[in-house]
Structure 1
């Protein structure tokens, strides 16, 4: 990991001396927020207090007091003569296996330098506990692997040997893009041709490529807070200067957005408009139009992320901003096939054709070939309506799970939480009514066999909340996890 001094603290740690909140508490809250969204990953070594207080322009005693509070809450670990670490993994190293004489030792020393990133450290955790929450993932047990496998094999057997593999790839990819563009037009209400569409291996790839082309170092990008940790990591890695705006019951605060635009030159607004991550709030119709008007007035790009469109539970899904955009300001990214086996899903970018053409230059280097057989199978599934049938079947199951999860939360945690039943997606946004530390809850749940990932925990001065995925759980599993959650919260509040 690179020198901690190289971390751009001032780009995401904002201290406001004019506010009534004590400076040390502001530092505590800003560090917690940075840890939660992945800007300070687990194991990151922080600079010494003398260096950091100069970087943040605060008194050293104030910083030491803030660090003491962060350590008590479990966000950092201060190791004598070693340094200060974000949820340091130093303890783990003591229990790792020591190589024996017969162990093959790989040389780790090198004689060259290379760029390192503290921003792109993977924040995801792996647990072996029997029960686990996530941020809203589908149930892999519902995937029709056998059907897709048979189709894949049959397509392989029917390949026309008179064509070259390059011809097969080109024809299959064009055919797939045609059907996929039609699918997006029908389901999202957008109006695109194949020249407006780029398909990628994953939603994360789409986010990364779009950001790389749109953002230059120092560009100001507006994001909602609380926000999506993965997008914030990607934006920060591109050199963006992030400006956050709050979210209320109608979505992002457009009055605040306008004020920011009047005071700054904004390059981009990153937005999960139809289903805000993590709060599950939808941007109201009035604010949707205001966002589009502001983008046109102040000439900024809207990067609209609609990764979870597949899961809506009413007959009138909210259409993306891309369907309403008449000025060519929206770059629309999303995912396809989250209910399909790993490897069959896709990410996509829908945008003006000249932007897509530029993206294709990068794709030709990084993803030069396509899986022609996979694309033939999915094109057939789209054409024959199988994707719609599978989606309809799974949505019925997930809607039943959503409603049962809401029932359990009311039954077991009614006096402890506040939430709304989400109209779409596979997760609930739970606001806790009691004051406590979420890391303590995480640890108590782990004692009882339930894993709560750090990426689902959100805590600031005015908010204690958790994003709880339900899609991967059946009814019995839901009963178990909610019971453990209830038991654990009772224990830490005793």
Structure 2
């Protein structure tokens, strides 16, 4: 006979009702076949006495089990484990306790294109990044006040339900006007879709443009997340050179004569990762090729606002008269990565299709966040924030580059970037980044996955190192740690 009295464990301090605790344990015993089908259960009074609970608790438990289909009540005979339950065939886990979810019992597809892992952050370790904003400069109080003001309006409830897959209407209107003014665009609201940042825009565009075997052209060095996104579609990536003037467009022209090019991906303002700017001559050449051969240009203008030596260069999209450019940008880089607001700009029909696709992968954005940023832009707060952080980041760029040159000129060379938030750092050929990563770790500096900057294995020996997210003191500390690591490597060699 089943040992009811010793088998059930009841926690009378738990917030979970006793009858639910009993029901769950009964179900587990039935699944484990400790209580097989057709087993007669004790009467409610008997079991109540055995477990020292009120009879109503047992009645409620049996009712719950009956409703769920685990037991059945037969008049004048009693309550039984349901006779029609199929038998489970669990593996024998008597040697060790293993959670069921640790190993799936089905096949699923894995993508070879998506192999990168997130690093686990450790206290006291300085992590190199490839150019992110300093979240400590985020105007969080101002954004918070905007949220509270919006939340207090009686009309806010209309924004709490399902909204447009194109994004919040107010933000679309505000962004249309803002981008027309600041980027030299000539668009209407119908040409703009709100996205969850630039990466979301790249994904949507790639899904609409590329299928298995389609050709997309990128730089020999390129933004790794874009590469992964294109490879995920099973597209064929063709790479062209990148020099001081950006993508080598003559190489693209040669490709066009041999292959059917579906798209070209370009970070025209500050090429990722090298930070170079696509020259005016090459911009015109690329636009002419797109018109002639009918391919799309995916222009990822991820850090348009960050220029230190001159005014921002207008994007390709501002010169596009033939509808070839898909323009992608975001507010995430400018304010803080957590605010997932970006935009995708293209023809109305392309935007309509992108909105349809978005419906099944991300039904809609955060309406309250989008409303808050519509207000944030409209009141001039975004421009004010940009002016503030530009001064800070320029000072950090100058300090980082000067200190790096003073202390580590024997090991590294680089061009001072005209904009952006990172330096393209060239390690002299006597050393490898693999060696540097090992000695740097001893100084509590994590270099990260340096191989992502040279997917073609050309041996350029460069990585992208961000400076914007470090304070003056942190820049000094980072360079000092790198210096100790490099001298250890030099002495070892």
Distance 1:488 1:161 in 2: 55
Structure 1 residue aligned with 2:271, among 263, 272, 276?
276
Once the 2 structures are TM-superposed, how far is the Cα of residue 132 of structure 1 from its aligned partner?
Answer: 1.7
- Does residue 302 of structure 2 align to residue 307 of structure 1? yes
Q: Contact 2:302–2:333 (CA<8 Å) still a contact in 1?
A: no
Partner of 1:201: 196
Q: For 1:314-463, list aligned pairs within 5 A.
A: 314-455=309-450, 458=453, 460-463=457-460
RCO higher in 1 or 2 (8 Å CA, sep ≥ 6)? 1
Distance 1:271 1:184 in 2: 19
Partner of 2:490: 493
Once the 2 structures are TM-superposed, how far is the Cα of residue 169 of structure 1 from its aligned partner?
Answer: 7.2
Q: Name the stretch that deviates more: 288-297 or 360-369.
A: 360-369
Once the 2 structures are TM-superposed, how far is the Cα of residue 108 of structure 1 from its aligned partner?
Answer: 3.7
Partner of 1:466: 463
Once the 2 structures are TM-superposed, how far is the Cα of residue 341 of structure 1 from its aligned partner?
Answer: 4.5
> Aligned-pair RMSD on alpha carbons?
2.5
Distance 2:172 2:290 in 1: 29
Q: For 1:237-256, list aligned pairs within 5 A.
A: 237-256=232-251
Give 3-state SS (helix, strand or coil) of 1:107's partner.
helix
Q: Name the stretch that deviates more: 211-220 or 198-207.
A: 198-207
Q: Which structure 1 segments of 5+ residues have no match? A: 1-98
Q: Deviations over 1:392-429 (max 9, x none)?
A: 10111001100111111110122332211111111000
**Cα separation, partners in 2 of 1:457 and 1:331, compared to 1, 3 Å:** closer
Distance 1:289 1:245 in 2: 17
Partner of 2:121: 127
Once the 2 structures are TM-superposed, how far is the Cα of residue 306 of structure 1 from its aligned partner?
Answer: 1.0
Q: Which structure 2 segments of 5+ residues have no match? A: 1-92
Structure 1 residue aligned with 2:112, among 118, 124, 127?
118
Q: For 1:20-169, list aligned pairs within 5 A.
A: 105-128=99-122, 129-160=124-155, 165-166=160-161
Q: Deviations over 1:272-327 (max 9, x none)?
A: 11110110000111111111111111221111111122322244211111111111
Q: For 1:193-232, list aligned pairs within 5 A.
A: 193-232=188-227
Distance 1:230 1:171 in 2: 24
Once the 2 structures are TM-superposed, how far is the Cα of residue 435 of structure 1 from its aligned partner?
Answer: 2.4
Give 3-state SS (helix, strand or coil) of 2:469's partner.
coil
Q: Normalized against structure 2, the TM-score is what?
A: 0.75
**Cα separation, partners in 2 of 1:172 and 1:215, compared to 1, 3 Å:** closer
Q: Normalized against structure 1, the TM-score is what?
A: 0.75
Once the 2 structures are TM-superposed, how far is the Cα of residue 370 of structure 1 from its aligned partner?
Answer: 3.8
Distance 1:161 1:449 in 2: 48
Distance 1:171 1:319 in 2: 25
**Cα separation, partners in 2 of 1:416 and 1:318, compared to 1, 3 Å:** same
Distance 2:383 2:264 in 1: 31
Larger Rg: 2
Q: Contact 1:145–1:341 (CA<8 Å) still a contact in 2?
A: no
Give 3-state SS (helix, strand or coil) of 2:241's partner.
strand
- Does residue 290 of structure 2 align to residue 290 of structure 1? no
Q: Deviations over 1:57-98 (max 9, x none)?
A: xxxxxxxxxxxxxxxxxxxxxxxxxxxxxxxxxxxxxxxxxx
Aligned length: 396
Distance 1:296 1:260 in 2: 15
Q: Contact 2:211–2:234 (CA<8 Å) still a contact in 1?
A: yes
Give 3-state SS (helix, strand or coil) of 1:261's partner.
helix
Q: Deviations over 1:246-289 (max 9, x none)?
A: 11111111121111111111111111111101100001111111
